[in-house]
Chain A
């Protein structure tokens, strides 16, 4: 049994420590995998997070271990890992834009109307942490949909609710986050 399957099963059993181990493992795998794909693709292509996650899933977990619970845990962790990778990426690109030797990007200085996409997702990421303290379930929907790139169907299956619920949470969360970002200015 692969290492990751063991961890997934442990997570399923409620093993707290296993949950903590899962994320770094998935994160490593995704970064490595993305880099490997990069090395093979022609320049000018873009890789989508959801494709990377699917590929990683199939590579890491064997035929028989693709239970829906394992899948749910994996994809949840993968979305979170993807978030981190994307944010790192965005940070790096922004830093480059604002002068390479700036250690920390000052988001407060940004003019909302003039933000680049990378800066936008940094703002969203920050606001997301605020949302998480208020309503972790809706925040999770954002992580899965926005950073993970999953469809409503997949998110619904992962969280065990209906697609309609996901649509509603998403509609509300987007607006909440935007308002929160705007209010910070």
Chain B
């Protein structure tokens, strides 16, 4: 590269952008100071630029071959291969189309070519002119565009490129005239300029506002994708411009009627960006939420560099498979998508976002994952209602406020609170933390007491107790903060020897989170310790305890082999819940029967079993299969422990008959069924059921565990199933072996 000419080019281009003559002069004065030769050169270039354009435009007609003028050799037509039919002859430069004169070809897409053109009247300006070549019925395309023209004319937004006009060329192709946007497509711009996540989100929010504006005017874009979002530079700042509004609807054709690919393997339409309902084309009205889905794909790509589904993969499999994928397959969350990339790919992606790969994944994990996945919901009623809603959630994320997309947990909100007020928390110390987090009256008392220090010994004693509590609570808060940052091991260190004398919800949440973290990594002793602390905290003020916490603790104790601990645990649980029946009493039955027990214990669960059976009948009557299925598996286990094997078998089969799917529950039912069959001497069936139950449990534990969802199955349900599986294996395979 020649440095001198490059410098000239840089100055020339920059000066040209300054339309104000004074600004231009000043710019050149600054940059050509001391170099009059350079200055003269640039001035000369600037003066000649317009004439140069004209000169080149006028020469354009010599750049094509009018038929009859190419010299020899002539070849007989028969010896030449046929040209694929859908390659079309293009418009020569300099042609006039309507009141527009084509100046230059500037781009090409799957369905047409874009030219820069000059409009002469009523106003002289440069525009973009897009000629659609899809072999479509031109009249209907124009007609459809006309239908929207009114609405398009009403749109007036700085981030939307106007569509001015439409018509037909002499050859019969439809064309559209649009505001000329000089810029690059958004994905390119972001990567080239290495915008970080925050900057990308800022641009995205502007785009959401533009889409919102259009939706409010009744215009749906229908074809949102990176090539339709340009970034232009205005005063040095990047400005997004959404282009091609109204064109997708006008040129819409049934995908099945036309080929997906041109002869040169260019894609028509972008399946990766199509919403499930668009791919279906089932006659369902496409509404604004379809645009929101496409926005979801866009933000996905801006964050991870990839689309949720790979475009090539989608096309490769054919139309029906593509529809099915878009309709049914869950795409990976953005952070998960990143983690599956090859190292160089990941490094490149992180680099263009100015961040370390590990940091990028942790940035996306959590809130951003949630926001993106909500936007990509298959069921459009579950997406954001409006583009503004999406923008607002992103803005909340950027200000460290709780987002809408995520079901709020106390700990989550606490974490946000801390991050928002980082300065306050850091500076003011333990007391401030306690006050802000609403820890309760004791801390306030502590403060008061501190002022009355010179009181009697009794006061002094109380003071030291309170101080101790405050210290403990400070540790809890610290641990809460660490948990919210997912620094579980540091949190665990703080919690290790902490015992609370006062109940706090935050304390419970912290013990629960850290306990789960241990359990997910199979560190059962530590999990048992934390859950024990959790239950202790829960009991302090007679607060209504979550039966789920019992479900967490039970497996931990069994896994760690603490049979005495488990025995005490279940006695306690039963004692507590027999007295005050709760709607989830059956969970207590379940958790108390993980291991076989003595007759008395099992019979003491009689009332619980009765209540469960009643609840099951109710659920059946209400058509609540989910609840009914869970109840039946609890009853199955109870009957099995009682030795009532035929009844146990019956309950298992009933559980399996419900269509509402839950993998660990089904596996558990099969395992109990296997054991029941074995006890009834039905060895073959026992082995079959055991195999059927074992497979999902083992594959679940092979992969990495996460906390789970109600549908996939919570981890403790799986842990539960695994414990029973072990028992069943011993019973059916080990004990039954011939000696």
Question: Which residues does A use to contact B, with CB under 8 Å?
Answer: 31-52, 54-55, 58-59, 66, 85-86, 88-90, 92-93, 116-118, 120-121, 124, 134-135, 137-138, 146-147, 149, 151-154, 162-164, 167-169, 171-172, 174-179, 181-182
Q: Known contacts A39-B77, A117-B58, A146-B56: does B65 contact A135 (CB below 8 Å)?
A: no
Contact with A along B48-85 (1 / 0, CB 8 A): 11011101101111111111111111111101110110
Give every chain B residue within 8 A of A179 (Cβ-Cβ). 44-45, 48, 52
A175/B263 in contact, CB under 8 A: no
B67/A172 in contact, CB under 8 A: no
Q: Known contacts A47-B65, A135-B2, A175-B52: does B8 contact A153 (CB below 8 Å)?
A: no
Task: Determine if B19 is an interface residue (Cβ-Cβ < 8 Å).
Answer: no
The contact sample of 17 A-B pairs, CB cut-off 8 A, is: A32-B75, A35-B72, A38-B67, A40-B80, A47-B65, A48-B90, A66-B265, A151-B105, A171-B12, A172-B5, A174-B49, A174-B52, A174-B55, A175-B12, A178-B48, A178-B56, A179-B48
A120/B55 in contact, CB under 8 A: yes
CA distance A120 to B62 in the complex (A): 8
Task: Determine if B270 is an interface residue (Cβ-Cβ < 8 Å).
Answer: no
Shortest distance from the beta carbon of A2 to any chain B beta carbon, whole Å? 13
From residue 3 to 17 of chain B, which have CB atoms closer than 8 A to chain A?
Answer: 5-6, 8-9, 12-13, 16
> Interface size (B, Cβ < 8 Å)?
59
A172/B9 in contact, CB under 8 A: yes
Task: Determine if B1 is an interface residue (Cβ-Cβ < 8 Å).
Answer: yes
Q: Known contacts A89-B65, A117-B62: does B81 contact A59 (CB below 8 Å)?
A: yes
A49/B64 in contact, CB under 8 A: yes
Q: Known contacts A35-B74, A121-B59, A162-B192: does B8 contact A182 (CB below 8 Å)?
A: no
Question: Which residues does B use to contact A, with CB under 8 Å?
Answer: 1-2, 5-6, 8-9, 12-13, 16, 44-45, 48-49, 51-53, 55-56, 58-77, 79-81, 83-84, 87-90, 92, 105-108, 182, 184, 188, 192, 263-265
Shortest distance from the beta carbon of B303 to any chain A beta carbon, whole Å? 22
CA distance A164 to B77 in the complex (A): 42
CA distance A48 to B48 in the complex (A): 29
Give every chain A residue within 8 A of B75 (Cβ-Cβ). 32, 35-36, 39
Chain A contact residues, majority secondary structure: helix
Give every chain A residue within 8 A of B65 (Cβ-Cβ). 34, 38, 46-49, 52, 89
Shortest distance from the beta carbon of B327 to any chain A beta carbon, whole Å? 31
A46-B66, A169-B9 known; 20 other A-B pairs, CB under 8 Å?
Answer: A39-B76, A46-B92, A47-B65, A51-B89, A54-B264, A90-B62, A117-B61, A120-B58, A120-B62, A121-B63, A146-B56, A151-B105, A151-B106, A151-B107, A162-B188, A163-B184, A174-B49, A174-B55, A175-B48, A181-B55
A42/B62 in contact, CB under 8 A: no
In the complex, the chain A residue whose C-beta lies closest to that of B182 is A167
A89/B45 in contact, CB under 8 A: no
Give every chain B residue within 8 A of A33 (Cβ-Cβ). 80
B8/A172 in contact, CB under 8 A: yes
CA distance A137 to B9 in the complex (A): 12
Give every chain A residue within 8 A of B81 (Cβ-Cβ). 59
In the complex, the chain B residue whose C-beta lies closest to that of A174 is B52
CA distance A175 to B80 in the complex (A): 41
B184/A164 in contact, CB under 8 A: yes
A89/B70 in contact, CB under 8 A: yes
CA distance A151 to B184 in the complex (A): 14
Q: A42 contacts which of B48, B61, B67 (Cβ < 8 Å)?
A: B67
A134/B80 in contact, CB under 8 A: no
Shortest distance from the beta carbon of A83 to any chain B beta carbon, whole Å? 10
B1/A124 in contact, CB under 8 A: no
A46/B67 in contact, CB under 8 A: yes
A38/B48 in contact, CB under 8 A: no
A92/B71 in contact, CB under 8 A: yes
Give every chain B residue within 8 A of A38 (Cβ-Cβ). 65, 67-68, 70
Q: Known contacts A51-B90, A135-B1: does B63 contact A178 (CB below 8 Å)?
A: no
CA distance A166 to B291 in the complex (A): 32
CA distance A120 to B61 in the complex (A): 10
CA distance A38 to B64 in the complex (A): 12
CA distance A156 to B8 in the complex (A): 21
Shortest distance from the beta carbon of A88 to any chain B beta carbon, whole Å? 8
Give every chain A residue within 8 A of B89 (Cβ-Cβ). 45-48, 51
